[in-house]
Amino acid sequence: MTSLLCITIISLTLAGSASSQPTSYPLPPTVMVLAELGANVTLPCRLQSQDAMAFGNIGMRVKWTKVADDEALNEDVLLSMGFHKKTYGSFAERVFLNEDTNEDASLTITEVSTEDSGKYRCEIINGVEDFMEEIILDVQGGLTDGVVFPYSPSVGRYNLNFDNATQACLDQNASVATLDQLHQAWKGGLDWCNAGWLSDGTVHYPVTRRRGPCGGNKGPGLISYGNQDKQLGRFDVFCFASALKGRFYWLVQPDRLTFDEAVQACLDDGAEIAKVGHMYSAWKLEGFDRCDAGWLADGSVRYPISRPRKNCSPTDAAVRFVGFPDQMQKSYGVYCYKAE
C-alpha cells in the first residue's frame, strides 16, 4: 500500500539558489511527502500543461537525485532517457517512474527505510530548457528510541549460547532484542544473513533482499529457526541499544594507538572507551558519521558512516566492521564515550 501525504511548503532558501540552476522556469515550491516506514511512496514530479506544451515529449530526460547539504555528496537515484533507465546504489531495483502520462515523472520508492528520508530533486531535461522540482521525504515510524544490531564475539560467528549472548549484549551497553524490535529493524532495512538469538529464546535473521542461502525461497522477511536449546545452541545475537545518555566521540590523537593505549587515552580524557552499542546508537539515532577506523571496548575496530561516499561505505549507510586485530599493533584511533 502506498502511503502518501503531500504538504506544500514555501521555501525561502530556494529563491536565492534558483538563479544558479540551469532552468528557464521559476523553481516550484518545495513539496513535503510523509511516508510510513516499510511502505511504498510516490514523490510527485509532473509538468504543468503549459510546460508540457513548451517541452514536448520527444527526447525528454528525467533525472532524480537525493540532495545532501554538501552538493558533492549528492546521490544519484534514477536516470531515464526514453526506453533506457538506470537506478543507482541503495535505490537499485526499488525505484521506478510512474509514467502515467508523457508529462509525469513521479518517482515511486518501494519499502522505504529511515535512510530514505531527505531532500530529492527531480529534473526534466529536453536539451534546451530544464524543469526542476524539489521534494522532501519524511519517513516516520519504526524504532525511534533505539537501534537493533547483530553481534558476534572475537572468537567468531555462531559461538554464543543464550546466556553468553545475553552477557555479550550487556557488555556492549545493550540488551537482547525482542522479536518485535527485530521486526521493526527489518522494516527499516536491516538485512543480515547470520542467525541470532532473541530475548524469547528463539533464533531469527532478517532478510530484505532474498538471495541464495539468505532466505532462499522463504524471504524477504524474518527467517526463523524457532526455539533452540539455550545451553547447547550456538548462534550470534541481535542486541538492542537505547538512545545515548552521554556523548560519543572520536578522540583526536597525534598517533595511532594500541588497544591498551586507546583505553588509557579515553580515561585520560575523562571518558571510557566506547562500546559497540554506543557506536550504533550514535550512528543510527544521531547521524554520527566518521570515516576513521577506531578501537572499541570489545577489542574490535569499526567506523560509522551515515552519508555513503567513495572509500567510506560507497553504497550503504552502515557501521563498518574492520575486525578484531592484534591489540598490540599500533594502527588505529579510538572512539570514546563520556556519560552525562
Given a cut of 50, the residues of the chain with pLDDT beneath it are: 1-28, 53-56
Look at residue 102 in the predicted model and tell me its pLDDT: 65
Q: Which residues touch 13 (CB under 8 Å, ≥6 apart)?
A: none
Total-model pTM: 0.67
Q: Where in 170-306 does DSSP place strands (E)?
A: 175-176, 196-197, 202-207, 221-227, 236-242, 246-250, 272-273, 294-295, 301-305
Q: Which residues pair with 86 in a beta bridge?
A: 79
Alpha-carbon gap, residue 233 to 221, rounded angstroms: 23
Look at residue 111 in the predicted model and tell me its pLDDT: 82
- The alpha helices in 207-301, defined as continuous H runs, are 259-268, 276-286
Domains and CATH numbers, the chain: 5-140 (2.60.40.10), 146-241 (3.10.100.10), 244-339 (3.10.100.10)
Look at residue 263 in the predicted model and tell me its pLDDT: 98
Look at residue 116 in the predicted model and tell me its pLDDT: 86
With 0-12 / 13-18 / 19 or more C-beta atoms within 10 angstroms meaning exposed / middle / buried, residue 177 is: buried
Q: What share of the chain is helix, strand, coil (3-state, %, to 5)?
A: 20, 35, 45
Look at residue 129 in the predicted model and tell me its pLDDT: 66
Look at residue 338 in the predicted model and tell me its pLDDT: 97
Q: Model confidence over 52-68: pLDDT tens digits?
A: 544 445 567 899 999 98
Alpha-carbon gap, residue 223 to 197, rounded angstroms: 12
SS3 115: helix
Question: Grid coordinates representing 72?
Answer: 558533492
C-alpha distances in angstroms, 249 versus 23, 49, 57, 304? 42, 52, 52, 11
One DSSP character per residue, 123-177 reads EEE-SS-EEEEEEEEEEE-S-SSEEEEEE--TT-SS-B-HHHHHHHHHHTT-EEP
DSSP 8-class letter at 194:
S
